Amino acid sequence: MVMDTLLIFFESNFPVFFSHTYIFLFIGAAIEGLSTLVIGGFLVSTHSISFFPALLAFALGHTVNGYLWYGVGYYGGAKSIDKWVRTKDNSRKIIEKVEVYFHRHSGKAIFLTKFTFSLTIATQVMAGSLKYNLRKYSWYNFIGSICWAAFAMSIGYFFGASYRLLFVYLKDVAYLIVFLGGAIALIYILKAIFRSTFIRAILDHDRVRHYREKLKNGLDKFWPNGNEK
């Protein structure tokens, strides 16, 4: 089988990787993340690595990445956010909305933005710049990292399992690369959808709050002394 041949080739030519697999997975998740997670899920589907040790390595690596960006905000302050996202009006408005949401629902913001593009780093930097409680940040950062790692790995696992089922028809190694590329592309698409949905939810929340305040003010004008005798 092509896949087995590839694994034997890499094992014989890159023995360090296979003898320290989970260390490399941890480093990959801490530095890059997305592609490493998908490839990890793919390797789990081929039984090259075990799921739970890989999930732990990925979660810890992604958590460390979150601490790094928290540190950028903690020591760089608000200027780090300005340099990161406020060069364009559209980005600036979105981040301002996220910042307001963060002040109201900090834990949810840290967790949910793990599943989005650009907002992940911006929120982590924001948490650091606001000197958000490190213990609480650690909790939401770790839980979010576990959930995100499990989700991304499941995509890689699904594509890997599909490839094995279709291997009878797809014996060219190029198809293996296409399958991996497809898994990574799907993650990018899903993250973009999550980001759009998250932003839309924040905007809808603000609209509801705005109309609720208008209704309250209208009732106060109509019945200003309702509690007086």
pLDDT: is 191 or 41 the higher one? 41
Residue 110, C-beta contacts closer than 8 angstroms, at least 6 positions apart: 123, 124, 127, 137, 140, 141, 144
pLDDT band per the 50, 70, 90 thresholds, residue 156: confident
Q: How far apart are CA 52 and CA 202, in angstroms?
A: 34
Range with the poorest average pLDDT among 7-11, 114-118, 119-123: 7-11
pLDDT band per the 50, 70, 90 thresholds, residue 229: very low
pLDDT (0 to 100) of residue 136: 93
Average pLDDT, the chain: 73
Whether 204 has a pLDDT exceeding 90, the answer reads no
Contact present, 125 and 98 (Cβ < 8 Å)? no
Q: How far apart are CA 115 and CA 152, in angstroms?
A: 10
pLDDT: is 13 or 102 the higher one? 102
pLDDT (0 to 100) of residue 89: 54
Whether 86 has a pLDDT exceeding 60, the answer reads no
Q: Which of 153, 127, 158, 120 is nearest to 51 (CA)?
A: 153
